[in-house]
Structure 1
Amino acid sequence: MAGAAPCRPEALLPPPSNRPPARPGPLPDPHRLRLHPRLRLRPGRAQGQPLGYGDGEQPEVNLYDKNPEYHGFSSDPVVDLWNMRLAFFFGISLAIVMGSVFVHYLPDRGMRQWSRREAERRLKHLETQGLPPIAENYYDTEKIVLPRPE
């Protein structure tokens, strides 16, 4: 490292060009933006007006007049009914089924299964030795502190 030349920041930059720096040009006219052919003209919009300008002139349509059982999914009554059925099926039925399967396969947090297996193993061990399942002096009587008789 003693003979290595120090790294200069100028060596990392590209060579300078003879062109002058670019100036930002004028902003494009919003009326002359290129749009997809389907978006250029809409009913209720005159030529040269930006999108969204003539939307207020269209009459408001009450979807409850066309479909008294409107669920809010579509203006077409058949599509609205099927979208509602699908949303409720996937949102409620599958959530309940998948949620219950998830809860069923959660690990045993209370260690109930392990404690039962351990108790059965210990009982089997005591039975093979000929001992009772619980000794009559389960607790050490010398360590039990009793209240004084009055």
Structure 2
Amino acid sequence: MAALRRLAGLQRLLGLPGCAVRAVSSGGSNNTVASIQVPSVSVPAHIPKEKEKEVSEYTKNPDYHGFDSDPVIDLWNMRLAFFFGISVAIVLGSTFLHYLPDHGMREWARREAERLIKEREAQGLPLIDSNYFDPSKIVLPPEEEE
């Protein structure tokens, strides 16, 4: 019976003409018959809907980035800040790293070693001496103080 009521409600919603509905139960010894008359309700063919302008969710609830209270200006300020911030960080940062002085003075040490090798070859001295420092220049404490 509940299904018939829902069907009647659907017919009224769609504006279909009402018709008599009869339900017959085939179970049990009692033959029960129920008749339902669905009243016809006239529904106008065209219901004018209220013209509501569709508003985007982002217009209703904008994401604030903290630059301005106006959502449009806030969005543009955020875009500009991130674009120029990232661009400056990448361009100037890589330029700064490229022009940093020699870390650990490796290039200077190599140039100095090449200069000393040329100087020792010109003087006829061995490239590497067994004594790193000149022994005549080393001042040792006297042996008496121990």
Q: Name the TM-score class by shorter chain.
A: 0.3 to 0.5
More strand by share: 2
More helix by share: 2
Q: Which has the larger radius of gyration?
A: 2
Q: Which has the higher contact order (CA 8 A, sep 6+)?
A: 2
The TM-score normalised by the length of structure 1 is 0.39
